[in-house]
Amino acid sequence: MSANVETMMYVREVPWHGLGTMVAEAPTSKDALRLAGLDWKVEGRPIFDADGQEIPGFVANTRDSDGQVLGVVTNKYRVVQNEEAFAFTDHLIGGEVRYETAGSLRGGRQVWLLARMPAAKVAGDEVEPYLCFTNSHDCSSSVKVCMTPIRVVCNNTLNLALNSARRTWSMVHTGDISRKILEAQQTLELADRYMVELDAQAQRYANTTVRESWLNEMLAEWFPIQEDDGEQRQKNIQRMRDEFMVAYMMPDIKQFRGTAWGVINAASDMLHNTPRRKTETYDANNWSRIMVGHPLLDMIVSSCSKL
């Protein structure tokens, strides 16, 4: 596990990202955070200069469990504790919605909790929709929710940007229980709307024929090689084109080959595969892309939408 990924937990089955420690169950968000090692609080502590003088207007967001500084922010910044950020999700739990995994990135600066929704069908394939809740303690982002549907047959992430439905949104945080219940209802409504629109778009893409000549043109556009690129860079870009075609020819895409939906699934598969050379920051960066989407995948989807 990368040094950028701290403790994680998952419930019963190893999730598609393959990280974490298995636990029997996490019936509440408080349980999930405790089992994932996220049951700590953040304190805004004063900052001093080399002469021992307090620096006005700024504080160090510090984890109380080990004194780790998570970020320097203005003293107007309001800390949203892990427990507070995710407590409202307990109102989502019921029926088939279950907590799946929780963890932290970048030394605790970013934390998340993942809930699995009931399985759905997208273009005839079984898909498991996930709601991902993220919070940061270094002022890099607000508390957000995003949809991450997983195509079961190949563990492909289908977190696609859609013009007709939101994939990510933010939440208001108050201590008002009625507000938390309302946010939970709105979250489920937005999630359901996204899945309905994802299926509608997938059906359209699955019925959109892709010519070989178009695909070759797009590969050159998605993975461009410039005249002044060095030999090694040209080889790397050509390898990405080749890896896309390998993904495009995989058996799980056979039924969609020759369509825009096959192209999108191949792109998702290629972009979320572990690279040959795994850098120290790969796990953190890849998890971030899983949560909020991959810009190259969004570009490929945009190209397909113009067909």
**Which pLDDT belongs to residue 98?**
77
Count of CB atoms within 10 A of residue 36's CB?
Answer: 26
Domain containing 225: what range?
1-41+81-307
Q: What is the pLDDT of residues 188-202, one digit of tens each?
A: 899 999 999 999 999
User: In the predicted model, is pLDDT for residue 13 greater than 60?
Assistant: no
Residues in Cβ contact with 97 at an 8 Å cutoff, skipping those fewer than 6 apart: 115, 116, 117, 118, 131
300, 263 Cβ separation under 8 angstroms: yes
**Which pLDDT belongs to residue 141?**
77
The tally of CA atoms less than 13 A away on the side-chain side of residue 208 is: 20
Q: What is the pLDDT of residues 134-185, one digit of tens each?
A: 888 998 877 888 888 988 877 778 888 888 888 888 876 556 667 777 877 8
User: In the predicted model, is pLDDT for residue 264 greater than 90?
Assistant: yes
What is the bridge-based pairing of β-strands 125-136 and 110-116?
Answer: antiparallel
**Which pLDDT belongs to residue 174?**
59
Q: What is the pLDDT of residues 205-259, one digit of tens each?
A: 999 999 999 999 999 999 999 988 899 999 999 999 999 999 999 999 999 999 9
**Which pLDDT belongs to residue 2?**
41
- Confidence (pTM): 0.81
Single-letter residue type at 261 = W
What is the bridge-based pairing of β-strands 21-23 and 5-11?
Answer: parallel
Q: What is the pLDDT of residues 50-84, one digit of tens each?
A: 999 999 999 999 999 999 999 999 988 888 899 88
**Which pLDDT belongs to residue 186?**
86
Measured between alpha carbons, how far is 70 from 137 in angstroms, rounded to an integer?
A: 6
Please indicate, yes or no, if residue 252 is contained in any of the structural domains: yes
Q: What is the pLDDT of residues 31-56, one digit of tens each?
A: 888 888 899 999 999 999 999 999 99
Please indicate, yes or no, if residue 54 is contained in any of the structural domains: no
pLDDT: which is higher, 296 or 278: 296
Domains of the chain: total:
1
Q: Nearest CA to 171 among 234, 93, 85?
A: 85
**Which pLDDT belongs to residue 87?**
79
Average pLDDT over residues 109-118: 86
**Which pLDDT belongs to residue 168?**
87
Please indicate, yes or no, if residue 166 is contained in any of the structural domains: yes
pLDDT: which is higher, 176 or 287: 176
pLDDT-based confidence at 16, cuts 50/70/90? very low
User: In the predicted model, is pLDDT for residue 18 greater than 60?
Assistant: no
